[in-house]
Amino acid sequence: MTLWESAVLAGIGGGLTLIGTWAGARWQAREAQRARAEQFAREDRFRLHRDRMETYASFLRVAGAMRAAMTRPSSVLEDARKRRNALWQEYARLRLIGADQVAHVAESILELANQFVWQGAKFDDERHRALIASYVQCARSDLLGLVAADPGSHAPPDELEK
């Protein structure tokens, strides 16, 4: 083998090494970025778990109080307005941190209260009960969907590992 052939082969080998090193570094950087994005998405998903649970429960309590106000005689309409305003405050909080499906059902409950308070509609107990049942089911699905393999636990997976 001549000096010229050796130099060409060494150059090709060096070039292939550089290309392989560059491709490996790019692949490693892409994988690291994907892992960071996945970790951030996971942390973001569980970060508000307790807040969502408290918000869902609070909205349910206020919706129950609103039902009590709507079943009273019309002479206590001012109480129904106050409870509707409290329901709106809980809905606003739920809308910010809750799942879309839960917020959609909560909006329907709020609309039922709006119709009663602002439009003078008759209280529809059957519809209210159906909406509450749907709300509870959606909230449970959202909250329990975040739980790790242990179906009996209601803690986020990060807390299960501790």
Query: Do residues 48 and 62 lie in contact, with contact meaning Cβ atoms separated by under 8 Å?
Result: no
Confidence (pTM): 0.64
The domain containing residue 111 runs over which residues? 48-160
Residue 4's pLDDT is 86
**Is pLDDT of 148 > 80?**
no
CA distance 38 to 32: 10
**Is pLDDT of 57 > 70?**
yes
Tell me, yes or no, whether 30 and 75 share the same domain: no
- The mean pLDDT value for 60-79 works out to 82
Tell me, yes or no, whether 65 and 1 share the same domain: no
Tell me, yes or no, whether 68 and 128 share the same domain: yes
Name the residue with tokens 């809308």.
95
Q: Provide the number of structural domains found in the chain.
A: 2
**Is pLDDT of 86 > 60?**
yes
